[in-house]
Amino acid sequence: MSGAPSYLLWGEEFNKGCTKNCIFMERVGLGLDSPEGREYLEVPGLIPGASRLSGTGIEFVQLSQNIQKAIGEPVQMHCRINKAVEECQWTWQPINETIKTPEVKRRFQPAGDERRDCSIRLKMLLQEEEGIWTCGVRLHKNSSFTEASPTTVTLFPPIKLRFMEQPENIRVALGTSALLRCVATAAVEECRWTWRPLTEPDKEEVLVKHFLPFGNHNRNCSVRFRSVQQTQEGLWGCTAIGHPNSSLQSTPLAKLEVYQPVEIKFIENSQDIHIAAGGHIKLHCTTSSYVEMCRWTWEPIHPSSINVTPTIKQEFPATGKDGRNCSYRLEKVETEDEGIWVCSVRGQGMEEFVQAPPTKLVLVKS
Task: State the burial class of residue 43 (Cβ atoms within 10 Å of its Cβ: 0-12, 13-18, 19+).
Answer: exposed
The one-letter code for the residue type at 280 is H
Confidence band for 244, pLDDT divided at 50, 70 and 90: low
Q: Reply yes or no on whether the pLDDT at 249 is more than 80.
A: yes
Task: Return the higher-pLDDT residue of 81 and 244.
Answer: 81
Helix (H) or strand (E) holding 124: none
Residue range 149-170: mean pLDDT, rounded: 89
Residue range 340-348: mean pLDDT, rounded: 93
Question: What CATH code is assigned to 266-364?
Answer: 2.60.40.10
Distance CA 9, CA 24 (A): 6
Task: Return the higher-pLDDT residue of 119 and 260.
Answer: 119
CATH superfamily of 163-259: Immunoglobulins (2.60.40.10)
Q: What is 46-111 written as a DSSP string?
A: PPTT--B-TTT--BEEEE---EEEETT--EEE-EEESS--SEEEEEEE-TT-TTSPPEEEEEEPPB
pLDDT, tens digit (0-9, with 9 covering 90-100), for 12-61: 333 334 443 333 333 333 333 434 433 333 333 334 444 444 457 889 99
pLDDT for the residue numbered 15: 37
pLDDT for the residue numbered 247: 67
SS3 198: coil
- Cβ 24 vs Cβ 14: under 8 Å: yes
- Cβ 355 vs Cβ 323: under 8 Å: no
Question: Radius of gyration over alpha carbons of the chain, in Å?
Answer: 32
Distance CA 221, CA 231 (A): 22
pLDDT, tens digit (0-9, with 9 covering 90-100), for 318-341: 999 899 999 999 999 999 999 999
177 closest CA partner among 108, 225, 106: 225
Q: What residue ranges do the domains of the chain occupy?
A: 7-42, 60-156, 163-259, 266-364
- Give domain 60-156's CATH architecture: Sandwich (2.60)
Do the two domains 60-156 and 163-259 of this chain adopt the same fold?
yes
Q: Reply yes or no on whether the pLDDT at 134 is more than 80.
A: yes
Angle at 8 between CA 7 and CA 13, to 5 degrees: 130
Residue range 128-141: mean pLDDT, rounded: 93
pLDDT for the residue numbered 45: 33
SS3 321: coil
pLDDT, tens digit (0-9, with 9 covering 90-100), for 270-326: 999 999 999 999 999 999 999 999 999 999 988 776 677 899 999 999 999 899 999
